[in-house]
Amino acid sequence: MSSTSSVCKRLCVRLFNRKSIINYIIISLSSVAILFGLMNYTPSVDKMRAKALDTISKMSTSEYFKEDISTVNDIKAEYKDKLKQQILKQDLSKTVSKFNKAVSKVKTKPEMIKSLVKKLEKYRKDIYSDEDKESAKELIHKFKIGAKEDSSKEALKDRYLDIEEQILRFKTVKQHEEEEARKVKIAARWTVAGSNEYPFKLSSDGNFIMPIDMNGSHGYLTGKWELDNTTVTIHIQKNTVDENYKPYDWIFNYDEDADTLVGTGQFAGWEYTKY
């Protein structure tokens, strides 16, 4: 019994002497450090690094507008070495995050062109007639081809605004619907405001007729009318009294709020109301 006790005492002394305790502490701290390293350095670190470095390798200055070339070079110079040197996941994650933000602020030529084409395509989808849609499609193609030759953002912007202006001239579905609603209002009998002079009728089928008296003869002016947004154009095609009559146009602006036709040209200052 006493021998057993003696053995235990010697074992305890050997296990728990100062030197052994220090060794245990060193081993424990080393294990924690290794564990921490394993937790912070995983295969995902290499993937993160590789992806960022791959992005840098593809950042060719020829893909950017001249205004951004110096910025691109600065990004590459600042982050290339950092990405290669950092080992811990936490540090690398922060660097990659900053790198991605810096890159996102500088668009390549293809990215910018694609973004602008997307806007033009959105306009094209809103166009009413198929013929105008096809014309817009050709304009967009023209923009894509020409934009590749632009070396500056300013040149690209000018090209885009020119094409955008042309496409926006085409009538949209909404404008067509609004125009059709106006046609219903405009198809009526009209006369000079405050009098019964020079009356005429605009029919819903697009016909125009106006009674006239010339040299004691009673007859009519006849023709067609059309609406473009708020501009009413009356095409006078025939004078039943005068066979030598030459066709010409009358142009009015429709004031939707007042429900009146306001004359232009030879009718400038005249206002027509319904009767």
pLDDT digits (tens, 9 = 90+) for 42-98: 557 788 888 888 888 888 888 999 999 999 999 999 988 888 887 777 888 888 888
The residue out of 170, 186, 216 marking a domain boundary is: 170
- Which of 86, 106, 126 is a domain's end point? 106
Number of domains making up the chain: 4
Asked if residue 117 and residue 67 are part of one domain, the reply reads no
**Residue 274 to residues 101, 148, 206, 233, Cα–Cα distance (Å):** 63, 55, 17, 17
Q: Are residues 89 and 141 in the same domain?
A: no
Please tell me the least confidently modeled range out of 46-50, 97-101, 144-148, 266-270: 46-50
Query: Range with the lowest mean pLDDT among 21-30, 80-89, 165-174, 175-184?
Result: 21-30
More confident residue, 6 or 267: 267
Return the bridge partners of 222, or none.
209, 238
Residue-level pLDDT at 18:
55
Same domain flag for 95 and 48 = yes
Q: What angle do CA 60, 61, 64 make, to 5 degrees?
A: 110
Residue 34: which domain range? 1-40
**Which percentage of the chain shows pLDDT scores above 70?**
84
Decide if pLDDT at 3 tops 70. Answer: no
Between 251 and 22, the more confident residue is 251
The span from the CA of 67 to the CA of 58, in Å, is 18
User: Is the pLDDT score of 39 beyond 60?
Assistant: no
Residue 244's CATH number: 2.40.128
Q: What is the pLDDT of residue 41?
A: 47
User: Which residue, 124, 148, 170, sits at the end of a domain?
Assistant: 170
Whether residue 34 is found in the same domain as residue 121: no
Q: Enter the pTM of the model.
A: 0.68
Both tokens assigned to 185: 């209002």
CB 65 within 8 A of CB 109: yes
pLDDT tens for each residue of 238-258: 999 998 889 999 999 999 999
Distances (CA, A) of 163 to 67, 90, 127, 136: 23, 48, 15, 9
d(CA 173, CA 178) in angstroms, rounded, equals 9
Task: Check residue 20 and give its pLDDT.
Answer: 56
Question: By the 8 A CB rule, do 197 and 185 touch?
Answer: no
